[in-house]
Amino acid sequence: MNKPVRNISLKFLESVEHVGLLVIAIATVVAMTSEIVKMIQVAQVTLSDLLLLFIYLEVFTMAGQYYRLGKLPVRFPLYIGMVALARYLILDMKAMDDWRMVAVTASILILAAAVLIIRFGHLRYPYPNDELPSEISRREIKKG
C-alpha cells in the first residue's frame, strides 16, 4: 500500500477509535447517572448498587486510559470481570446451588491469578521502551 493511502487509512481508523471512546465514555456517564438517580428515588444504597457503580467507574477509567495512552491494559477488563462476578455472586447467592457458587468463586480466583501473571510479565518482560506496535505506527505517521 502506498504511503499516502496508508496515512489516510490510519488517520481514519484513529478518528473512528476516538469517536468510539467518546461514545463509551458518554454512555458510561449516562448509565452511572441513571443508577444514582434510582438510588436517590428509593432512598437506599445497596452493596449491589455500589458494585455496579464500581463497574461503571472501571469502564470509564479504561476508556480514559486508552484515550490518554493509546493502549489498553488487559488488566482493566479482568478487574471489571472480577467485580461483575462478585456482584453476581452477591445478588444471586441464595438462588445458587453449591457448585455454581464454587464455579463463580473459582472464576474470580482465575481472573485474579491472570492479573498477577500479566502484572509479573509486564514487570519482568516489558515492551522495548514500553511502547506497543500501534504507538510506533502513530509516531511514524506524524513523521511522514
Give tens-digit pLDDT for 97-139.
999 999 999 999 999 999 999 999 888 888 776 555 455 445 5
Question: How many domains are contained in the chain?
Answer: 1
Among 12-16, 33-37, 67-71, the least confident range: 67-71
Angle between helices 133-143 and 3-42 (to 10 degrees): 120
Answer whether residue 78 shows pLDDT above 50.
yes
List, in order, residues 6 or more apart from 66 with CB less than 8 Å away.
21, 72
Full residue range of the structural domain in which residue 13 is found: 3-143
Long-range interactions of 65-69: CB distance < 8 A, separation 24+: 66/21, 67/18, 67/21, 67/25
Phi, psi of 40 (to 5 degrees): -70, -40
